Each structure stands twice: as structure tokens, then as C-alpha cells.
Amino acid sequence: MPISPKEIVSLIGLTSIVFLIAPIFLIRYVLLYNRKKKKHEEEKLAMVKTLETELLRTQMEVQEQTLKTIAYDLHDNIGQLLSLTTITLSSINLDDKVKTAEKIALVEDLTARSTKEVKALSRMLHSEELLSRGLFSAIEFELDWMKRSDRFTINFKKPKFESFTEDAGKETIMFRLFQEIINNIIQHSKATEIFVTLEQVESSLKLTIRDNGVGFDVDATLKRKTGMGLYNIKKRAAIINGTASIDSTRGAGSVITITVPY
Amino acid sequence: MGSVPLSKLFTLNTVAELICFLVALIFLYRDKSAAWRLLIVYLLLTFAAETTGLVIRKVFLSPNLPVYNTFVVVECFFTSYFFYTLFKPYGYSMKWLFGWLALFTVMYISELFYVQFADFVAVTASIMSIVFVLACMWFYYLKLTDERYEPLLQSAEFWWVSGALFFYFGSTACNIFFDYLKQNEVSTYNSSIRYIIFNVLNIILYSFWSFSSVCRYRQRKSFR
């Protein structure tokens, strides 16, 4: 059956209508995709903001931790040494020359030890500066400080390179993670031995902290309010695109591994 | 030569063109970009060509083909240059523009000689429409792949391209069947379907371009 000119013209009209509708959908898709791009950009901005906030909080926490350590040391070490010095000095009897000489020698020793402690504290005050020299030095310094208490046997294995990233913020967060884990061990684990290993695995830095303490139920702790510390460790590791794996069994110590890509 | 009232020269098309020209004149005359300032001249030429075409047909009762055949060249050169300025920030060089314009010139002259200056260069116009549709699509593609977010609803370039897409994509069917419609439509319908379609397309095009001029003005003001 031949098609009449009227039908063909109608068909052309209809085709034109379809050709007119098609751009509407195309423009709608472009606008929708653009809206998604905007949302994605906002999310990225929010992430940067979160990172900045978290970094600021971390820096404050590192400072707080330093001040706490200094306060404890002033009270427990230097304070004790100075009290002992005062007591020794006040007990000196100038008539008993032999004992006086012994006591003066003791006071001299106590003063020397106090000076040494003050010097160590002064170094501790510059721990932030230490962090700017490299994450590994900062960790080493912190562990050296712990060794002085003789409560723990510390094994530290560090890589040959000093720093793992140019991003100072990333290193600060990593250092704070280390501090939080060590604090947890000191407060809860009753461990006698701590193993700290820093190693380069492919293009990531792997920080492993193991202890021989009492261990804990990871899932139960994470569910409880007391698990906030562990939750923070996971959250902070995620902020620097890393992961935190927490593995522990009651009575068999615990292993926490932080893996952060370069 | 017949006399025709002035009101008959103001059709839906010419009014839409005149309004768009005035909007562009108000909002774009101080624009820093040559392409956008050229849009004012182009819209004036469009209005002038349309009115001249009407006068020739209704006053002088002669075929107005030479006007539209000449205007196609203006249309192609301006629209191509405008697209080039849109693609320039994405690293496209002048050779694309010159290459396309050279191809267009060859097609145009060949077709003019083929129809012996007695008919509209419909094939060239159809190919030009298809090229412009592709340019519009390519613009969208560049916008989608661009990682930077741009508020497209306030983008002058986006509205200009959208107007062009509606016009050139919508007119594809009419362009392809140009010869058929020329011979059959008058005998089929009281009012030419081509005329109705082009009226609708022109109104869409000039509405989008007018809004685009306003957006451009806002962009210029906000960047001050």
C-alpha cells in the first residue's frame, strides 16, 4: 500500500517532535550527573575538613600527652629526688664530719640525677620538634622514655628510612595512633614485654605493636563504651586511608597492626 | 511590486529574533569575550536576513533564496567560531575550526554550483546541523568528564549549547526531507509543517540564548 504525502509529512512532524524531546532528556541527564558531581565535591570537601579537624585534635592530644608525661615525671622522679635531697641536707650534722662527707656525696649524686632528669624532660618538651624530624625518631624517643621505667622490656625494629611520607599531618596522626595503643597497653594489659615493628610492605607502612599482656575480647570491647579508644584507632587510621587490625585473645596478649599507604 | 503592511513583517520568528537581539545587546555589549560580543552582531544579522527575506517575498514577490543561501555562511562561520571558543579551554587548536570551515566551504560552493544558484543548499545545511549537534554532544561530554564542578544551571555556555542542540537536532528531520516537504507540504496542509516546526524551534532557541545572555551578564558581574 503506497504511503500518501500527508502521511509522510505527518511522519516528518512526528519525527521532529521526537527529535525535540530527545534533547530534554539529554539535558536532564547532564544536569543530574552534574548534581552528583556537586555532591561528590561537597563530600570531598567535608572529608578534607574532617581530616583537618582530626589533625588539630591529634596535635592537641600529642601535646597533652607530653604535658602529662612531664607532670608525672616531675612528681614521681624529680620531685622524689629533690625531696630526698632536702631530707639529706637537713639531716647533715656538721660535727659528724665522716657522715657529712657521705651525705654531701649522696646529695651530689641526687643533684646529678635530678639534672639528668630535667635534661630528659627538656627533650620531651621538644617531642613535637622531634616529630618534625621524622615519625620513626619520635617513636624511638617515646620508647626510650618508657624503657627508663623498667616496667617493660621493649623490642623495637625500625626501618632504615627516617620518614614515610611528606605529609606531616599523616605522620602526626600515625604517631598519635602509636601513643594511644601504647597508653592502652600501659593502662590495661599488665604486659611485661612490648614488641614494636615498623616495616615497609609494598607501598604501605605497617606498624605492628604486640604485647604479652592479659588480652581482651575485641568484639565485646568495641561494643562497649570503654571501646571508644579502639574505635578511635580504627577511625583515625581510616582518615589517613589506612586500616587498623586489632587481634587479641584473653590471656594471650594482643596485636594491633596499622597499615597506611604512602 | 506589491505593498505590504509593516505588521506583516513582524512574524513569530522575527519578533523572537528581535527580542533575543535586544536582550543580547543589553547584557552583552560590555562583555570581554569577542565571541559573546559577536553574538549581538550575529543576532542582528539574523533579524536583518529574516526581515529582508520577508520583504523580498512579500513586497517584491520574488524568491528569497539568495538571502538564506548567504545567511547559511554567516550562521556556519559564527556558530563554528563560538563552539571553538567553548572548546578552547579544553586544549582544542584552531586547526579543527579551520579544517571544518574549509570542508564546509567546499561543500557549500559545490552544492551552489550543483543547484545552479536556483535552490537552497539543503545538503550543506543538513550536514552543518549534524556537525553542530555533534559539537553540542561533545560539549556535554567535556562537561561530564571535567572533574571540576560547575553550576550548569547558571552557565551561559550551557544554555547557549542547549539552545543550539534543540534547534539543530529538532530541525534534522525537516532538513533531511527538505526537498520532499517543499514539493508536498503545501498541498497537504493549510499551514506548512516546516514553518510550524521552525517557529517552535526558533522560540526555543532564542529563549535559551536570551537566558544565556542574562547568565553571562551575571557571571561577569559576580567575577568583578
Mean pLDDT (chain A) is 84
What average pLDDT does the segment A222-243 reach? Answer: 80
Question: What pLDDT score was predicted for residue B211?
Answer: 96
**Residue B121 sits at the chain A interface (C-beta within 8 Å):** no
Q: Which of B170, B184, B201 sits opposite A9 (nearest CB)?
A: B184
CB within 8 A of A10, min separation 6: which ones? none
What average pLDDT does the segment B171-195 reach? Answer: 70
Contacts B144 to A, Cβ<8 Å: 30, 33-34
- Tell me which residues of chain B, numbers 136 to 165, contact chain A at a CB-CB cutoff of 8 Å: 137, 140, 143-144, 149-153, 162, 165
A244-253: per-residue pLDDT in tens?
999 988 888 8
Max mean pLDDT range (A38-42, A161-165, B58-62, B102-106): B102-106
**Residue A1 sits at the chain B interface (C-beta within 8 Å):** no
The answer to whether the beta carbons of residues A93 and A75 sit under 8 Å apart is: no
Q: Which residue would you say has higher pLDDT here, A22 or B75?
A: B75
- Minimum CA–CA partner of B200 in chain A: A20
Contacts B181 to A, Cβ<8 Å: 9, 12
Q: What is the DSSP letter of A3?
A: P
Contacts A31 to B, Cβ<8 Å: 152-153
The answer to whether the beta carbons of residues B216 and B31 sit under 8 Å apart is: yes
B90-142: per-residue pLDDT in tens?
988 899 999 999 999 999 999 999 988 888 898 999 999 999 999 999 999 99
Contact at CB, B184 and A8, closer than 8 angstroms = yes
Contact at CB, A12 and B174, closer than 8 angstroms = yes
The answer to whether the beta carbons of residues A212 and A253 sit under 8 Å apart is: yes
What average pLDDT does the segment A149-162 reach? Answer: 79
What average pLDDT does the segment B21-46 reach? Answer: 95
Pure H helices in chain B: 12-28, 34-58, 65-87, 94-114, 122-145, 156-170, 172-176, 178-188, 193-222
Question: What pLDDT score was predicted for residue B1?
Answer: 46
Q: Is the pLDDT of residue B186 over 60?
A: no
Contact at CB, A30 and B153, closer than 8 angstroms = no
Question: What pLDDT score was predicted for residue B189?
Answer: 54
Nearest to B71 by CA among B44, B100, B40, B34: B44
Q: Is the pLDDT of residue B158 over 90?
A: yes
Contacts B166 to A, Cβ<8 Å: 20, 23
What average pLDDT does the segment A210-218 reach? Answer: 89
**Would you give the distance in Å from CA A72 to the centre of its chain?**
21
Burial of B46 (0-12, 13-18, 19+ CB in 10 A): buried
State how far the Cα of B186 lies from the Cα of B204, in Å rounded to an integer: 25
Q: Is the pLDDT of residue A6 over 70?
A: yes
C-alpha cell at B70: 548567504
**Residue B190 sits at the chain A interface (C-beta within 8 Å):** no
Nearest to A31 by CA among A41, A21, A20, A23: A23
How crowded is residue A9: how many other Cβ atoms within 10 Å of its Cβ?
Answer: 21
Contact at CB, B170 and A23, closer than 8 angstroms = yes
Residue A73: half-sphere exposure toward Cβ, Cα within 13 Å: 23
**Residue A5 sits at the chain B interface (C-beta within 8 Å):** yes
Contacts A9 to B, Cβ<8 Å: 181, 184-185, 188-189, 193
Nearest to B200 by CA among A83, A188, A21, A105: A21
Q: What is the DSSP letter of A2?
A: P
Mean pLDDT (chain B) is 88
Element (H, E) at A209: strand A204-211
Element (H, E) at A100: helix A97-125
CB within 8 A of B103, min separation 6: which ones? none
Contact at CB, A38 and B169, closer than 8 angstroms = no
B58-72: per-residue pLDDT in tens?
888 888 888 999 999
Question: What pLDDT score was predicted for residue B163?
Answer: 96
The answer to whether the beta carbons of residues B214 and B31 sit under 8 Å apart is: no
